[in-house]
Chain A
Amino acid sequence: MKRNLLVAVVMAAGMSATAASAAECIAPADPGGGWDFTCRTVGRLLTELGIEEAPVQVTNMPGGVGAVAFANVAGKRADEGDLLVATSTVGVTQIAQGKYPGGVDVMRWVGMLGSDVGVIVVPAASPYASLDDLLGALKDDPTSVPVAGSSGAGGWDHIRLLMLADSAGMTGDAYKAIRWVQFDGGGPAVTQMMGGQVGAVSTDLGEIAGFVQSGDIRILAALSDDPIPAFPDAPTAKAQGYDVTGYNWRGFYTGGEVSDADYDGWVAALNTLYDSEEWKAAAEANGLIPVWRGGAEFETYVEQQAQQMEEISRQIGVIK
């Protein structure tokens, strides 16, 4: 009788230990978006590959382009070692523009696993054959071509376009006059462009790659250092003489008071995931280029990017 009781207690303790070690990934958006994808795919692969024993629980915590989740983790869960929060360049842009309650130093940045590439696209039948043509037209008359993307004015899609305008020699007043139209994602922006509502779209390639493959739209410029593997013929902006790159990486942060042991554990887990064939396949299917930065290297990278983003935002007049 006593032994049975003991067994029961041990089993209960074992169960509660497993329950406590079940990791959680917060997607700071509604189900269906990029951050949600990051959490769900990474969470699923971590379990499937046996890196995490229990299934990773995904929690959607939408609000303020990630600000609600950021505030929640900073305020209540800063020391929780089994927690990851999905983020991307878009989140860092928000931080750099002061739209989160705190700077990048509030969190510990774990790592990034892949990156989407910004592109400038036009309809297949567009009169603009190259980036020169499009930027030339905008230079002559900034209001002549309305451009659309998935972010509002001052968001990452808009900033990437203005960086190109800047490097084409347009002045701040001129490129601020470019008509920018926000849609709820790259897909809607591209279909509205195909319907003739806008002349060009600046957004991430991943969501709209199907339209390039089907021949409905053309890539005028890829904002990457090297040509995109899936579309080797699409010229980079750099090759056309505009020194602009615009990646949108996907990665994770965790609370600022998480112990070094837990933090290093996450970095190692994500690194193992990154090295797997399964992640490479999942990334590729979503138009992401696998790129790894983790631990201290990633922290420095995020700090630099936030700084750079703040400068650009100030230059183009998004913040004062």
Chain B
Amino acid sequence: MDILNALMDGFSVALTPTNLGLAVFGCFIGTLIGALPGLGPVNGVAILIPVAFAMKLSPGSALILLSCIYYGCMYGGRISSIMLNIPGDEPAIMTTLDGYPMAKKGKAAQALGISAVASFVGATVATLGLTFFAPYLAKAAIYFGPADYFALYVMAFATIGGVAGVNPIKTLLAAVIGLMLASVGLDPATGTARFTFGSYNLYDGFDPIVSIVGLFAISEILMYFERIAGEGGEAVPLDRGLPKLREVFAGFPASLRGSVIGFICGVLPGAGASLGAFVSYNVEKQVSDKDGTFGTGDPRGIAAPEAGNNAASGGALIPMLTLGVPGSGTTAVMLALLISLNIQPGPLLFERQPEIVWGLIASLYIANVVLLVMNVPLVGIFTRLLSLPQWLLMPVVIMVSFIGIYSISHAPFDLFVMIAFGVLGYALRKLDISLVPVVLGLLLGADMENNLRRALSISGGDFGILVHSSIALAIYALTAVMLFLTVIMARRQTGKAAS
């Protein structure tokens, strides 16, 4: 009851006209930032912090504005994944796998509708979890050590073979390329430079967002050049502008499963939204891909990762608020904002400044509803994008990519990196190798390595530590079960094909 009372107080904070207006504004801007390739939530929030200061907002209002931008970005990231096959931000990569094929079949409206509902389900599950269990979950997450995180990454990569395409060997090859690229830069444990060739620009390795925009957007443009050099490309068929209600809820059970998995990944500070979306997709494929329709535009393949990444984003607020430990780049920026507003996140925040915490939580509920309502009519507008001629769309994509990437770090070097990744992406596409595992390797490889190194630092180099904890053992057991199921299912399918 205490929690409900506190939440009601929170709603009275969030429902003032100013705060409500800020929430709507934040949702809109967030969706826009998320949809533009290159501009992810980290930069979106960082760029808008000065705006919050300039408007002389109270701490509570500033936090509400920026959280709504954060949630909005998570909704927006899927739009360019589905419409252009270019992820708007890191966690939206998995949505390209089924979202884009579905849009190509002419069901773009349905794909956008499904993902909007899935995002809503995921974010709502996470916000409920934040409301009722935040302090307990934070306490439990503490017991997740480096060896356990390593096991989690092993599970993610062990099941990667099934992620994309028909050829598991090519998928594994792509993941290894990603892992190799992840080893470039300063070794965090010792500060030694690796594969940097004396360039300070490579000290921090390849920024995932730069490589994503390069791999997806730039290579798409190269593919387009190739197409117009030959015969004109086929136009994407368009169906009606708005999806039917029944179609939109096609992925509902998948959304629920994805939400739970994503939420758990979000609560763990060492995991995060990209891993959440990744594991949600893998698990959903194991559970429900009986006919091999994943990767060709299956509604469940859109719903699971979208619910997963939104739930993880909400979950990541838990360690940020209750421990002061950010689980992602965006929560790190929000943490910095809180501190500069003289709010000290950490174990005492809920006791000392309840009106801010509960005002924030209440505004997240409101943001969710606003985003759902806002995104349904927007579906019609976004589907029109596809009816634009390619010669008009592609230059805009190039422009947005270059401006987006340059605005992050103001480093021309990043633009060259982006172009290089574009050429790599083009070559991989011509070889029929999926780009998604490359990005996953790059995005998660560094964290996987860091946690392995930390575990080994603790044990003094003894690999036994990796299987000492019961959490790690449980994760390995789960991995074994998932791999076993994959083999069985593969056998059955070949059996069916033979008979």
Contact = CB atoms under 8 A, between A and B. Distances in A.
A67 B200 contact: yes
A195 B42 contact: no
Contacts of A32: 46, 326, 329, 332-333, 335-336
Given A60-B46, A211-B346, A33 B200 contact: no
A71 B457 CA distance: 32
A285 B349 CA distance: 14
Interface stretch (B184-192, B369-377, B484-492): B184-192
Contacts of A192: 142, 145-146
B388 interface: no
A285 B344 contact: yes
Interface in A54-104: 55, 58-65, 67-68, 71, 99, 101
A233 to B, nearest CB: 18
Interface in A17-41: 30-33, 36-37, 40-41
Interface residues of A, number: 57
A180 B457 contact: yes
Interface string A171-194: 000000001111111011001101
Contacts of A179: 457-458, 460
A33 B336 contact: yes
B87 interface: no
A20 to B, nearest CB: 18
Contact of B336 (A37, A55, A198): A37
A204 B397 CA distance: 44
Contacts of A101: 200
Contact of B347 (A36, A181, A198, A211): A211
A4 B45 CA distance: 42
Contacts of B348: 210, 213-214
Nearest to A192: B145
A37 to B, nearest CB: 6
A40 B340 contact: yes
A180 B411 CA distance: 34
Interface string A195-213: 1111000000001111101
Contact of A153 (B46, B49, B143, B191): B191
Contacts of B188: 152, 182, 184
A155 interface: yes
A97 to B, nearest CB: 8
B174 interface: no
A142 to B, nearest CB: 10
Contact of A181 (B42, B43, B201, B454): B454
A68 B200 contact: yes
B1 interface: no
A44 interface: yes
A36 B335 CA distance: 12
B144 interface: yes
A63 B324 contact: no
A188 B323 CA distance: 9
Contact of A191 (B43, B146, B200, B323): B323
22 contacts: A30-B332, A31-B332, A37-B336, A61-B411, A62-B204, A64-B186, A64-B203, A65-B186, A65-B203, A68-B200, A146-B457, A152-B189, A155-B191, A179-B457, A183-B454, A184-B450, A191-B323, A195-B143, A210-B324, A210-B344, A211-B346, A213-B348
Interface of A: 30-33, 36-37, 40-41, 44, 55, 58-65, 67-68, 71, 99, 101, 143, 146, 152-155, 179-185, 187-188, 191-192, 194-198, 207-211, 213-214, 216, 281-282, 285-286
Top 7 A-B pairs ranked by shortest CB distance?
A: A210-B346, A64-B203, A32-B332, A214-B347, A31-B46, A195-B142, A187-B325
